[in-house]
Structure 1
């Protein structure tokens, strides 16, 4: 079970590192967008600091998520981005295959948070 957790966390972390780096380097092709999606991404582009902030959080959270010693922190750091991804997929593109990926990634993140609940108790006591 330990090796399965490590592999899932490694893949999870690498996916977020890749997504974060793409926000700076723009090396992944953009899929065809609907008119609503084009408006949405144009609005995100108007807020000049938003995508660099999200990209930075994704890279840092992804790196922290990979290593067992910092995984609990990485899970909390990446949680707001993960919630945003999930909500975007639920409300904007519910019939796309992206919703399945978003749900699986959210469940992995939730699993790691629950698995590390002892580490968070000092924060809320």
Structure 2
């Protein structure tokens, strides 16, 4: 049962990251008008760094695809954690009222890494 719950949560998380990455490339969802001003300013600042959005988009898309493949799920989660840290920091500083969804996505990634911790231990053991 737990594996099924984890799969559903991972599937939803992967779809969120896939949508986010594809939207960075194709811009099919406009920026909402009701975003906090600080968040809009931060978004414009990130957009000024021309290479950053395509890089983040590729990592989000690739990480989402890897999350969906059980053998590579841990690698996908590892790829998405740095992006998730950035998302959390942006929301903490610019839009704390909108932090619920990023916290849920981060929790799913942490859960994936925790359940696959045996694969990660060789990376940190000397």
Shorter-chain TM-score above 0.5: yes
Counterpart in 1 of 2:14? Answer: 13
Counterpart in 2 of 1:114? Answer: 114
Q: Distance in 1 between matches of 2:91 and 2:27?
A: 21
| SS at structure 1 position matched to 2:99 | helix
Structure 1 unaligned regions, length at least 5: none
Query: Could you give the per-residue CA deviations for residues 15-69 of structure 1, whole angstroms, max 9, x where no partner exists?
Result: 1011000000000121123433332222212211000011111001111111211
Equivalent runs, 1:14-93 vs 2, <5 Å: 14-32=15-33, 33-93=35-95
Query: TM-score under structure 1 normalisation?
Result: 0.92
CA offset at residue 80 of structure 1? 0.3
Q: Which runs of 4+ in 1 moved over 3 A?
A: none
Q: Distance in 1 between matches of 2:36 and 2:110?
A: 31
Query: TM-score under structure 2 normalisation?
Result: 0.91
Q: Distance in 2 between matches of 1:64 and 1:47?
A: 27
Structure 2 unaligned regions, length at least 5: none
- After TM superposition, the structure 1 stretch with the greater mean CA deviation from structure 2, 52-61 or 29-38, is 29-38
| SS at structure 2 position matched to 1:70 | helix
